[in-house]
Amino acid sequence: MAEIKFRKSNIIISIILCLLGFFFFVYLLLTQYFVVKIISILWVFIVLYIIFIKYRQLVKVNKGIPGLEISNKGITNHTSLQSVFIDWNDIESFQAGFYRTTNIFINSKDPKKYKDQWMGNPLQLIGNIFSSKPESLWIDTETLDIEKKELLALLNHKLRENT
């Protein structure tokens, strides 16, 4: 089994940058005209959502949970809000190069299976606004202690090896 650790420093930097963004949008909310206030409210919620995800990742780091576990049975993705195991037989491919340039998408044969796991989570509504793909199928490579290209090569090799 291979374990890819989180890169704690990147998570902390991300939280700090999001907090700066949060304060900026709160400032706009308090000082600008109505249209800017409406847009600022939206951005405040988006930034809070990202802060919550990064906070959950930081909690996982402090508990010693790796960001990604790769075994002969499948992958356990701990980078999303809810950790999820994905069997190799359920994976068609790995995709990169979307608008989320730092992420790798796990192209599942049954993506609805992973979407259903989130239906009880109200924060999923925010994630669904920006992507029709289940959040648990995205690997946040920005927070992992491995380069994206190297991880993509490793995942593709393991997929070929185990299917």
Render pLDDT for 23-81 as a digit per residue (tens, 0 to 9). 999 999 888 888 888 998 989 988 988 898 899 999 999 999 999 999 999 999 999 88
| pLDDT attached to residue 116 | 47
- Can you tell me the mean pLDDT for 98-110? 78
| pLDDT attached to residue 23 | 94
Locate 25 and state its tokens. 């949008």
Judged against a pLDDT cut of 80, whether residue 18 lies above it is answered with yes
| pLDDT attached to residue 124 | 56
Model pLDDT for residues 123-162, shown as the tens digit of each residue? 555 555 555 566 778 888 889 999 988 999 999 999 998 8
Helix-helix angle 8-31:34-62, to 10 degrees: 160
Q: Determine the Cα–Cα distance for residues 12 and 110; give it in Å rounded to an integer.
A: 34
Locate 67 and state its tokens. 């960001």
Core vs surface per residue 112-146: b (16+ CB within 10 A) or e: eebbeebeeeebbebbeeeeebbbbbbbbbbbbbb
CB of 152 closer than 8 Å to CB of 76: no
CB of 5 closer than 8 Å to CB of 62: no
Q: Is 74 left (phi over 0), alpha (psi -120 to 50) or beta?
A: left
Q: Determine the Cα–Cα distance for residues 162 and 87; give it in Å rounded to an integer.
A: 10
| pLDDT attached to residue 74 | 93
CB of 144 closer than 8 Å to CB of 7: yes
Judged against a pLDDT cut of 70, whether residue 117 lies above it is answered with no
- Can you tell me the mean pLDDT for 105-113? 82
Judged against a pLDDT cut of 70, whether residue 3 lies above it is answered with yes
| pLDDT attached to residue 99 | 62
